[in-house]
Every structure is written in C-alpha cells, then in structure tokens.
Chains A and B, each alone.
Chain A
Amino acid sequence: MNTVSEKKVLVCTNFRANPNHPSCGARDSDKLFIALSEELKDTPISTEKSPCMGLCHMGPNVRLVPNGKCFNEASLEKLALITKEIKAFIAC
C-alpha cells in the first residue's frame, strides 16, 4: 500500500534543441510545472520536474507516480481537468 507522501506529480521539462525532435521543454512545460505547483500547493502531493519520459512526440507529459496516469499533450488549457484527476489520484 502506497502512502500519500510517496505520490508525486512529475512534469517533464526535458528540452531537446533539435527542432526535428519535439520535446516537453520546447512546448512550455516549465509554465505548466509552475501552474500545477501553484494549484497543488495545499495538497499532500509533491510536484517535481522530471527528465525525459520517452513520450516526446506527445508532450508535454505529466505523470502520476507510482502507477498513476500519464497525461499527454498537457497544457494550461487542460489545467483544471488535470488538477481534478490529480486530486482524485491523491484520494485513492
């Protein structure tokens, strides 16, 4: 059984300079990280920047660990929906 304190939100902020290789960092995932950190500051889950998750073509990627969902093509526009699902993840 995992405790709440072990749960994390990982936001990939990996940046790939090659324009032929898309990356979360190049798609403003830093802004998403800041916004998610703010949204979740009063919850028991920690939000962390993450290295590459191997899903660059579908980024920005936000992953819930352990064993949680991975949000692909995450964006500020989807922030409310993602936050809602993260809160459900915290509660489960």
Chain B
Amino acid sequence: MGFSLFISDLHLCESRPEMIEAFVTFLSDTATEAQNLYILGDLFEYWPGDDIMSTGAYAEVIKALNTLGQSDVNSFLIHGNRDFLLDGEFSKATKVTILSDPYLTTLYGKRILMSHGDSLCTDDKDYLKFRAEVRNETWTSNFLSQPLSSRIAYIESIRKQSELEKSIKSMEIMDVNQAAVESLLEEYDYPPLFIHGHTHRPNRHQYHIKGHQCERFVLGDWYEQGSFLMLDQHGIYEHSI
C-alpha cells in the first residue's frame, strides 16, 4: 500500500545551502518511494511571488520538485506564514498541488487533518492581526504589483521586526492554543490524526474529547537537521535525516 511523507518548516533560503542540498537529496531519494508527499508550510524562508522561482537557489528546489513530479509521487503543499504567496506558476512548474488550510483527507483508511498550524496560535493577537491584513486579495494584488526587489526589501524589513518581536514574546503565546486545537478537531468531527508544523516544537499529543481519541503530531523544522514523518497502514514513524 506504500507510504506518505509529511514535512514542514524547511525555511529554505540561499544562506543555508546545506539544507537545500539535504532537501534535494530527500526529494531524489526517500521521496521517490512514497505515494504522497505533503509539505505543510514554510518550505521557503520567504516567498515574494512566483517570479522569484528562476533565481538563485530557488531554481534548484523547483527543478528537484519538478523531477519528483514527473514520477508517480503525488506532491501537495499547504501554505505557511512565510510562503503564503506560493501560487499557480509555482504549482505549474513543480507539479505540486496547493491545498487549502486546513485540509482533511483519508489515507490508509484513516481520516487525517493537516494544517500549517499558525492559525491555531490564537494567543498571538498581533500575529493574527497581521495575518488577516496580508491574507486577502487586495493586499496580495497590491504587493505583487511592486517590483521584485521592492517586495524582497519589504519582506526583509518585516522579518527583522518579527525576529525582534519574537525575542520578547513568551513561548506560550507563540504555541498553539489548546482551545483552538480542540475547536478545530470538533469542526472536522474528530479526525484520529492531526498533523501540523509552524511551532518548531516536534511532539506527539494525545486528546480525549467527548469520547473521541485524536493524536496531534507537530512536525520538526529543518534548521539543525531535517526530519520527516512517515505514515502507512501500520501507523506513523518519525525520522530525522
């Protein structure tokens, strides 16, 4: 029956060529044996628009995704807070299908809910306000109408501000809110498995809600080392690269 792979928070960028190399190797080796590859957000450190695809290190990643796309492996992506502008041209070039967030599917007879996870950090009011501002068609259209260099400069300024804010925010604020998680699980009729990233706090959480048993897996990031989660008919297995 094969297996499916889940990854998130790679934050690929030119300043970390070793992780780009690790990801390209992952795509050309491990991923080629999978049925499905799910990238649950923040594949890139930032994405100013699909017109950046052909530049620098991005081109190498696009090429590797495209090569995987030529095989029988189905690749899917959910937007992250860093790369929510990934769009149709990226999808066309890589054969990666962009999914809505959250996304519910059934694999190996089990209902599985996936998300990037940032929308669950409801205690971080400032972030949610910013998220609402930039995740609409008007903002996107205005932003993408600017030259690429201007967009990159804007993102760099936002990133600096974000890093400064993160240094003074409490860890609890930047984690998911338990009530938000439970509300989402209820909304999707308690899927037995919920997988997300974003918080960079890989873990496995058990929930017993109203007679339902759910597991929440938080994927690890690709800063110190890469990691992936494998799901097959026998269950789940976590692995570091």
Residue numbers of A with Cβ under 8 A of B are: 8, 10, 14, 21, 51-57, 63, 65-67, 70
- Which of the four size classes fits the interface of chain B? 10 to 19
Contact B3 A66 (CB under 8 A): no
A14-B33, A21-B29 as given contacts; A53 in contact with B3, CB under 8 Å: yes
Question: Is B237 part of the binding interface, using a Cβ–Cβ cutoff of 8 Å?
Answer: yes
Complex Cα–Cα for A66 and B5 (A): 17
In the complex, the number of residue pairs spanning A and B with C-beta atoms less than 8 Å apart equals 40
Chain B, Cβ-Cβ closest to A64: B234
Contact code string B24-36 (vs A, CB < 8 Å = 1, else 0): 0000011111100
Contact B33 A54 (CB under 8 A): yes
Contact B2 A53 (CB under 8 A): no
Can you give 27 A-B contacts (C-beta < 8 A)?
A: A8-B234, A10-B234, A14-B33, A21-B29, A51-B1, A52-B2, A53-B3, A53-B230, A53-B232, A54-B30, A54-B33, A54-B34, A54-B228, A55-B239, A56-B29, A56-B30, A56-B33, A57-B29, A57-B30, A63-B234, A63-B237, A65-B234, A65-B235, A66-B234, A66-B235, A67-B235, A70-B239
Q: Is the interface of A mostly helix, strand, loop or mixed?
A: loop
Complex Cα–Cα for A8 and B31 (A): 24
Contact B239 A52 (CB under 8 A): no
What are the 9 closest A-B residue pairs judged by CB atoms, nearest first? A65-B234, A52-B33, A66-B235, A54-B30, A54-B230, A54-B33, A67-B235, A54-B3, A66-B234
Complex Cα–Cα for A8 and B236 (A): 14
Q: Which residues of A contact B234 (CB under 8 A)?
A: 8, 10, 63, 65-66
